Amino acid sequence: MTTQLDLDRLKKAAALEAVEFVRDGMIVGLGTGSTAKHMIVALGEKVRAGMRLRGVPTSHETAALAKEAGIALIDADSRWELDVAIDGADQVDPGFNLIKGGGGALLKEKIVAASAKQFIVLVDYTKQVPMLGGSFPLPIEIIPFGWGSTAREIESLTKSRVVLREKNGAPFRTEAGNLIVDVHIARIHHPKDLEIALNQIPGVVETGLFIGRTSILIVGSPHGVDIHHAPEQ
C-alpha cells in the first residue's frame, strides 16, 4: 500500500527531474501545490549554486516559497514571456489533458502555462487516469455576482452536481476575489468541447481543464521517474 509519505517522495523525485530542464538565465513559471513546492526548493538550490533565473509565481503561497528559496521574482504587472512553466496536476489523462485547481490557483496557473514556451507537468502515478472526472471534481472559477445562476447554468450543461467550495465555513475566495464551484462529473468524454462550452457561460472566469497545453509530463512511480513528451499538437 502506497502511503502519503511514499507519494511525497515520488513527487520530489519528479520535481528533481523537472528542474533539469531549467537553464541559466531562464524566466520560469512557478506552480502551486505540494509537488510544485519540491520544484521550488530544488530551483532554490540551483540559484544558491550560481544559476541565474527569475520566476513568475502562480499564488501568494508560491511567491513566499520562492522568496524564501532565493528566487528573484518578476513583477506580476510586467509583460513577461516565460521560457518554461512547471506545475503539478490533480488528474492527467492519456492525451496529456489535465484537471487543475484543487488548490484554487487555476486562473493564475493557466495564465502562466499559456505564457510559457514549454509547460512541464509533474505528478505522482496516482494522478494518471484513463479519463478525466470521476474521482476528482472539476474546479471552475466564477465571479461572485449572480453565482447561483452561473452554477445553475453549469449544472444544466454538465448534468452534474455543482458544489460551492468553502473554507472554514465560508465561501472560498481566490486571489482574484472570485468563487470556485467544484463540478462532480462522472466521466469527461470530450474535455476540449467541455472547456469551450463552459467558457461560454456568463460568470465563468476560467475552468480547471488544461487542454493541449502540456509539453512534458513527468511521472513519479514506485519503479522510478518516467518522462513523456507530448505529441505535436
182: cell is 467544484
Could you give the dihedral angle defined by the CA atoms of residues 131, 137, 140 and 143, in that order, rounded to the nearest 10 degrees? 170
Asked whether residue 151 falls in the same domain as residue 50, the answer is no
Cβ atoms within 10 A of the Cβ of 144, count?
Answer: 12
DSSP codes of every residue in 100-142: --TTS-HHHHHHHHHHBS-EEEEEEGGGB-SSSSTTS-EEEEE
- Per-residue pLDDT tens over the stretch 15-27: 999 999 999 999 9
From residue 127, alpha-carbon distances to 40, 114, 204 in Å are: 20, 22, 26
Place of cell 540551483: 46
Do 21 and 114 belong together in one domain? yes
Q: Are residues 45 and 103 in the same domain?
A: yes
- The closest alpha carbon to 13, from 138, 144, 125, belongs to 125
| Residue 195 known to be catalytic | no
Q: What is the pLDDT of residues 163-194, one digit of tens each?
A: 999 999 999 999 999 999 999 999 999 999 99
Catalytic, out of 61, 81, 109, 153: 109
203 marked ligand binding residue: no
Tell whether 126 is in a known binding site: no
CATH of residue 161's domain is 3.30.70.260
Is residue 65 in a domain? yes
pTM: 0.94
Average pLDDT, the chain: 95
Residues 14 and 39 in one domain: yes
Q: Report yes or no on 133 lying in a domain.
A: no
